[in-house]
Amino acid sequence: MPDAYQLIKATLKLLKWIEKKLSDKPGLGFAVVVIGAYIVGLTLMLFSQKVLRPDAADLKSVWFFLGGGCGVLGGYILFRRAVWMWPDKRAPRITILPLLMTGHA
Protein backbone atom coordinates (compact mmCIF):
# COMPACT_ATOMS: atom_id res chain seq x y z
CA MET A 1 0.00 0.00 0.00
CA PRO A 2 1.43 3.40 -0.93
CA ASP A 3 2.28 5.86 1.78
CA ALA A 4 0.33 9.08 2.25
CA TYR A 5 2.78 11.22 0.26
CA GLN A 6 2.44 9.04 -2.83
CA LEU A 7 -1.34 8.98 -2.46
CA ILE A 8 -1.52 12.78 -2.27
CA LYS A 9 0.87 13.09 -5.21
CA ALA A 10 -1.23 10.68 -7.31
CA THR A 11 -4.42 12.55 -6.37
CA LEU A 12 -2.92 15.86 -7.48
CA LYS A 13 -1.79 14.31 -10.77
CA LEU A 14 -5.32 13.00 -11.31
CA LEU A 15 -6.80 16.44 -10.63
CA LYS A 16 -4.33 17.99 -13.09
CA TRP A 17 -5.36 15.45 -15.73
CA ILE A 18 -9.05 16.16 -15.05
CA GLU A 19 -8.36 19.89 -15.34
CA LYS A 20 -6.89 19.43 -18.81
CA LYS A 21 -9.27 16.83 -20.23
CA LEU A 22 -12.74 17.78 -18.99
CA SER A 23 -14.71 20.52 -20.63
CA ASP A 24 -16.41 23.39 -18.81
CA LYS A 25 -19.87 22.68 -20.18
CA PRO A 26 -22.52 23.20 -17.49
CA GLY A 27 -24.62 20.43 -19.04
CA LEU A 28 -21.82 17.95 -18.41
CA GLY A 29 -21.53 19.07 -14.79
CA PHE A 30 -25.26 18.70 -14.16
CA ALA A 31 -25.31 15.31 -15.90
CA VAL A 32 -22.45 13.96 -13.81
CA VAL A 33 -24.05 15.25 -10.58
CA VAL A 34 -27.37 13.62 -11.51
CA ILE A 35 -25.63 10.33 -12.38
CA GLY A 36 -23.84 10.40 -9.00
CA ALA A 37 -27.07 11.09 -7.14
CA TYR A 38 -28.79 8.30 -9.07
CA ILE A 39 -26.03 5.81 -8.21
CA VAL A 40 -26.13 6.73 -4.51
CA GLY A 41 -29.94 6.54 -4.43
CA LEU A 42 -29.96 3.21 -6.25
CA THR A 43 -27.33 1.89 -3.85
CA LEU A 44 -29.42 2.93 -0.86
CA MET A 45 -32.49 1.30 -2.33
CA LEU A 46 -30.86 -1.97 -3.41
CA PHE A 47 -28.70 -2.52 -0.35
CA SER A 48 -31.34 -1.63 2.22
CA GLN A 49 -32.45 -5.25 2.50
CA LYS A 50 -31.39 -7.06 5.65
CA VAL A 51 -30.96 -10.48 4.02
CA LEU A 52 -27.76 -9.58 2.19
CA ARG A 53 -24.57 -11.50 2.69
CA PRO A 54 -21.67 -9.85 4.57
CA ASP A 55 -19.60 -9.42 1.40
CA ALA A 56 -22.29 -7.11 0.01
CA ALA A 57 -20.94 -4.37 2.28
CA ASP A 58 -17.82 -4.17 0.13
CA LEU A 59 -19.91 -3.79 -3.01
CA LYS A 60 -22.06 -1.18 -1.27
CA SER A 61 -19.02 0.89 -0.32
CA VAL A 62 -17.67 0.70 -3.89
CA TRP A 63 -20.97 1.97 -5.30
CA PHE A 64 -21.12 4.76 -2.70
CA PHE A 65 -17.58 5.77 -3.60
CA LEU A 66 -18.46 5.75 -7.31
CA GLY A 67 -21.62 7.82 -6.79
CA GLY A 68 -19.89 10.24 -4.44
CA GLY A 69 -16.98 10.59 -6.84
CA CYS A 70 -19.38 11.44 -9.67
CA GLY A 71 -21.08 14.03 -7.47
CA VAL A 72 -17.79 15.65 -6.48
CA LEU A 73 -16.53 15.64 -10.07
CA GLY A 74 -19.74 17.21 -11.36
CA GLY A 75 -19.62 19.81 -8.61
CA TYR A 76 -16.02 20.56 -9.54
CA ILE A 77 -16.99 21.10 -13.19
CA LEU A 78 -19.82 23.45 -12.19
CA PHE A 79 -17.61 25.32 -9.71
CA ARG A 80 -14.85 25.73 -12.27
CA ARG A 81 -17.34 27.02 -14.83
CA ALA A 82 -18.76 29.50 -12.31
CA VAL A 83 -15.28 30.76 -11.46
CA TRP A 84 -14.54 31.40 -15.15
CA MET A 85 -17.91 33.06 -15.84
CA TRP A 86 -17.82 35.41 -12.86
CA PRO A 87 -14.91 37.64 -14.03
CA ASP A 88 -16.35 37.74 -17.56
CA LYS A 89 -19.58 39.31 -16.30
CA ARG A 90 -17.93 41.93 -14.10
CA ALA A 91 -17.41 45.44 -15.37
CA PRO A 92 -13.84 46.23 -16.40
CA ARG A 93 -11.74 48.03 -13.82
CA ILE A 94 -8.66 50.20 -14.03
CA THR A 95 -5.72 48.12 -12.86
CA ILE A 96 -2.86 50.55 -13.55
CA LEU A 97 -2.53 54.30 -13.47
CA PRO A 98 -1.67 55.95 -16.80
CA LEU A 99 0.71 58.37 -15.06
CA LEU A 100 2.97 55.54 -14.08
CA MET A 101 3.26 54.41 -17.69
CA THR A 102 4.74 57.68 -19.00
CA GLY A 103 8.17 57.12 -17.50
CA HIS A 104 8.11 60.31 -15.33
CA ALA A 105 9.04 58.96 -11.97
Predicted TM-score (pTM) of the model is 0.60
Domain ranges in the chain? 35-84
pLDDT at residue 30, rounded to an integer: 87
pLDDT at residue 95, rounded to an integer: 65
Tell me the pLDDT tens digit for each residue of 14-60: 777 877 887 777 788 888 889 989 988 888 887 766 666 666 777 78
Are 74 and 32 a contacting pair, CB within 8 Å?
A: yes
